[in-house]
Chain A
């Protein structure tokens, strides 16, 4: 069976690297971006199975990126990704959680996140899909 592909959009290079190590240890394929706009582009082009999305990102913030992923224009003949699981992580107060949930975030996690637990949740969701 082919490896499941996870897109990680996070602007902190070291945290991004740690997430990649953890995901690869759990036998996922990992693609990464440090920018919101580029991340959205990769979500459309690379058909990942799930997305891990930070909120404070250069060029396009995570909230806008999530909306783009869910309802974005049919650019280059690609359909909006209505069903892909998106795990949102942020360092800010949880008051934004409702906002993100409404726009279709699968999980809303506040840093510091237990990434091992996040990976377990990913595995569960992707096994059912």
Chain B
């Protein structure tokens, strides 16, 4: 008789105390499941030990056992949340017991009569198929559940990003409105004749006007850079440059601004004969951002130092060190995050900008194959640095 488990190496357990029945059942099963390993347990205790030791594919158990009944096995399986198919054998006239077994989760039952042996193999095959189907169903349900969870998580992530973006847009609009207000009022003061150009107050108002137009320009540039970087459309115009030239250029252009705030700006370099392959304007932008931040967060009197040195023989490192207010430990990880503006509450510190400067710098440095980082302690100043791959001057001709 054909059956789909004919050649499968199944582990089957038969629990039966009547030797004649054992003999008949074994003979029938060996014919239908020729590759199966069939074990016999002759009482409940033996069966309970065996199911602990072996993972059976199916258990066939008589109801009447010398030390109890077959339901004891089923209950143990249920207790262990086992999926092993369990088929019950009952004597003729004991169908009530069979119903009880089915209610407790038996896969099927057989009534011992003349027909029993003829349907035995088919019944067991059906139980095995049912078990596989149950497992498959459960597997699919789990898969669906996991996919749902993953979708839910992705959705949460998107919602969070969306919320951050909305908050960001609101805060950017705020950052635009204040300098715009200064521009509007400066123009209005001059137009109304409330201050006169050429007189000290008028000159000061014109200066404020100029500063705020510059602030608006920087805000717009930051936003454009950021959206370009986000979309992966930032193009670098790379060439060979001496990093010392870049440091010197930035230090020169920032020196006056630092002095105006009562800060000393110094630079030192230990490098010679090395270059970086980089978009100079972008590296200048990164370094400017770090120096501007240092000036912003360093009260007078204070000092800002730009250091330029080699790290090993493949990297150059540019460090901007200040004697400013520092950054709290819990904020250190967030300073390079986009949309995050770590508002540092400190008297005398004018916090302005989109909060995108460092996020932009990080992406620009990484586009160059470099890294950026910070070390700081509250009240003890900050040390921002970035590292770029080094090119030896002779190497580049090869």
Partners in one complex: yes
Q: Assess the A21–B194 pair: CB atoms within 8 A.
A: yes
- Beta-carbon nearest neighbor of B349 in chain A: A58
* Contact (A12, B182) CB under 8 Å given A18-B208, A91-B177, A112-B177: yes
Nearest Cβ in chain B — how far from A61, in angstroms?
Answer: 11
A93 and B174 alpha carbons, distance in the complex (Å):
9
What are the residues of chain A within 8 A of B351 when measuring CB–CB?
Answer: 58
What are the residues of chain B within 8 A of A92 when measuring CB–CB?
Answer: 170, 173-174
What are the residues of chain B within 8 A of A101 when measuring CB–CB?
Answer: none
Q: Assess the B347–A15 pair: CB atoms within 8 A.
A: no
What are the residues of chain A within 8 A of B175 when measuring CB–CB?
Answer: 91
A115 and B204 alpha carbons, distance in the complex (Å):
18
Q: B192 within 8 Å of A by Cβ? A: yes
What are the residues of chain B within 8 A of A17 when measuring CB–CB?
Answer: 204, 208
Q: Assess the B181–A113 pair: CB atoms within 8 A.
A: yes
Q: B184 within 8 Å of A by Cβ? A: yes
What are the residues of chain B within 8 A of A114 when measuring CB–CB?
Answer: 184, 188
Nearest Cβ in chain A — how far from B26, in angstroms?
Answer: 82
Q: Assess the A21–B201 pair: CB atoms within 8 A.
A: yes
Nearest Cβ in chain A — how far from B296, in angstroms?
Answer: 12
Contact with B along A5-49 (1 / 0, CB 8 A): 000000111110111011001000000001100000000000000
Q: A111 within 8 Å of B by Cβ? A: yes
Q: A121 within 8 Å of B by Cβ? A: no
Q: B65 within 8 Å of A by Cβ? A: no
A114 and B185 alpha carbons, distance in the complex (Å):
7
Q: A4 within 8 Å of B by Cβ? A: no
Q: B205 within 8 Å of A by Cβ? A: yes
A25 and B193 alpha carbons, distance in the complex (Å):
10
Q: Assess the A12–B201 pair: CB atoms within 8 A.
A: no
Q: A82 within 8 Å of B by Cβ? A: no
Nearest Cβ in chain A — how far from B297, in angstroms?
Answer: 13
- Beta-carbon nearest neighbor of A58 in chain B: B345
Q: B350 within 8 Å of A by Cβ? A: yes
A40 and B242 alpha carbons, distance in the complex (Å):
53
> Among the listed A13, A34, A111, A116, which residue makes an inter-chain contact with B188, where contact means beta carbons less than 8 Å apart?
A116
Q: A100 within 8 Å of B by Cβ? A: no
Nearest Cβ in chain A — how far from B169, in angstroms?
Answer: 10
Q: Assess the B195–A111 pair: CB atoms within 8 A.
A: no
* Contact (A34, B347) CB under 8 Å given A14-B208, A21-B205, A92-B170: yes
What are the residues of chain B within 8 A of A25 when measuring CB–CB?
Answer: 189, 194-195
Contact with B along A97-125 (1 / 0, CB 8 A): 00000000000001111111000000000
What are the residues of chain B within 8 A of A115 when measuring CB–CB?
Answer: 181, 185, 188
Q: B212 within 8 Å of A by Cβ? A: yes
Q: Which chain A residues have a beta carbon within 8 Å of chain B's beta carbons?
A: 11-15, 17-19, 21-22, 25, 34-35, 56, 58-59, 90-93, 110-116
